[in-house]
Structures are given as structure tokens and as C-alpha cells.
Amino acid sequence: MPVLRWIRRNLIVIAGLLTLAYMILPNVVVMVFSFNKPNGRFNYAWQRFSLDAWKDPCGVADMCGSLSLSLQIAVWATVGATVLGTMISFALVRYRFRARGAINSLIFLPMAMPEVVMAASLLTLFLNMGAQLGFWTILIAHIMFCLSFVVTAVKARVMSMDPRLEEAASDLYAGPVQTFLRVTLPIAAPGIAAGALLAFALSFDDFIITNFNAGSTVTFPMFVWGSAQRGTPVQINVIGTAMFIIAVMVVVVGQLIANRRKNSAR
């Protein structure tokens, strides 16, 4: 049987593509159901095609407010975690100092702990301090759990850097500041960008820690969570689809620019 033989020879490719389909399927459903006109409050069963939600994406009370709050928190958490994380990475790779082991485990532990544990303990701290739960407590929490991921991303890049490049710069009479800005930073940039992107994605999409430490403030994931109980507006799917398309476009455009640069450099 040639068909069976073909399947056997391409088993890995077929299995891999099936997994890929499993991962993409929910996004397709989200996209298709953004054109739905549901009968009840829940958008789980297909009724008929409609562009209503796309024409009025902010037509649901509080949704776009929560979206802009999530974006703001994600931007500030990214800035905070990237700056602090990059500083730590440089210290870890470039310098010798005491308590390195303790510091390494302090950075590793937040990644090795279920989110709900960090969420509950941080809330214990805030309750004990009598802190007002809201924007600032969410931001503090997000910087905390993004930090370790940024360190991991940036450290990998800094470790693979050739220190002789910086030595060459200082041999050519560049000052320490100049060397850092014109040699070190540009080389480390891809690692820093990867860390920042990761921090943004983690912060924007975080639910568990945010849910514990938000008080009555509602971020976008919390809005979606609440809507699973009250009724899911079609607009949620519109936002989900738009985010997906924007992200794919950013990646594609970035790739095109990188390709063109590569070609013109040749």
C-alpha cells in the first residue's frame, strides 16, 4: 500500500502538523465567532453572520477601559522589569561578587513556583501593610514575576557576547559610557528586546496574580473572566482577533525588514 508507506515515512511531519492544528484551532474559533450574532448572552453557539461587533468594538460597558488599563500596566511593567532585569544580568555575567548562589536562586524561585502561591503570599503582604489594592499593587506584582524571565533572556545573550569587542573599543579611546552605549548595548539589544517582549506578553495576559492583587480594579483578562460568568459579548472575540492579526503583522513586517537589511548588507 503506497498510501500507508507514505504515512509511515512522514509520520513525524503529520503528527507535528496535527499538534499545530490543535494549537491554532481555538484562534480560528475566536475569529469565526467574532462574526456571530448570538441569541442569548453567551457567544458559544453559532447563530448567524453579522458585522455588528466589528462596527462597535467598544460597545460593551467597561471593556475598552479594562483593555487600556491592561496596556498601561503592561507597558510600565515591561519598562520596569526590563531595566531592573538587564542590570541584574550584566552584574551576573560580567562581575564577581559574593552571595552569587543565593542571588541566582532568588531569581530562579519565582519561575519554579505555581503562580497562585505568589499571588496569595503577595496579597498577604499587601493586607498586612494596609496597602490600597489597585493599579500600583498590580504593577508591583507584574514587575516582580516578569523580572526573572527578563534576566533569563538577557543573560543568555550577554553570556554569548565577545568581551574582546569592548576591550577593542576602549583600546580605541572610547570612554566607559561611550563603550557601553555604542558597543555593549547594541550587541545585547536582541536579548533585551526578547526579554521585554516576553515581559509585555506575560504582564498583558496575566490573570491569577492580578486577580488576587487588583482589589476592585478590572484588567482585560479579569473582564473576560467575569464575562464567562455574566455573559460573553462578541466584542471579546473582536479584540482577541485584532490582537492576533496585529501581532502576526508585526512579526511579518519585522521579518521583511530584517531580510531587506540582510540583502542590502551583502
Partner 1 sequence: MTVTKEAPPAPVTAELKVRKPSTRKRLVPYWLLLPGILWLLVFFALPLVYQASTSVQTGSLEKGFEVTWHFQTYWDALTDYYPQFVRSLLYAGTATLLCLLLGYPLAYLIAFKAGRWRNVVLVLVIAPFFTSFLIRTLAWKTILADGGAVVDVLNTLHVLDVTSWLGWTESNRVLATPMAVVCGLTYNFLPFMILPLYTSLERIDGRLHEAAGDLYATPATTFRKVTFPLSMPGVVSGTLLTFIPASGDYVNAELLGSTDTKMVGSVIQTQFLRVLDYPTAAALSFILMAVVLIMVTVYIRRSGTEDLV
Contact 92, 103 (CB under 8 A): yes
In angstroms, the first-to-last Cα distance of the chain is 49
Site track 210-229 with partner 1 (rule: CB under 8 A), x = hit: -xx-------xx--xx--x-
Of 54-62, 178-186, 187-195, 232-240, which segment contacts partner 1 by CB under 8 A? 232-240
Collapsing DSSP to helix, strand or coil, 102 comes out as helix
Hunting for cell 467574532 — which residue is that? Answer: 34
- Of residues 130 through 149, those in contact with partner 1 by CB under 8 A are 140-141, 143-144, 147-148
- Of residues 22 through 81, those in contact with partner 1 by CB under 8 A are 22-27, 29-30, 33, 44-45
Least distance to partner 1 from the beta carbon of 140, Å? 6
C-alpha pair distances (Å), 36 with each of 27, 49, 61, 167, 225: 15, 5, 19, 61, 20
How many Å is the Cα radius of gyration of the chain?
A: 23
In one letter, which amino acid is 124? T
- Cβ contacts of residue 165 below 8 Å, gap of 6+? 183, 187
Least distance to partner 1 from the beta carbon of 83, Å? 8
Site track 155-194 with partner 1 (rule: CB under 8 A), x = hit: ----------------------------------------
Q: Which of 5, 98, 230, 262 binds partner 1 (CB under 8 A)?
A: 98
Q: Which of 6, 7, 20, 190 binds partner 1 (CB under 8 A)?
A: 20
Q: Which is nearer to partner 1, 31 or 187 (CB)?
A: 31
Contact 139, 76 (CB under 8 A): yes
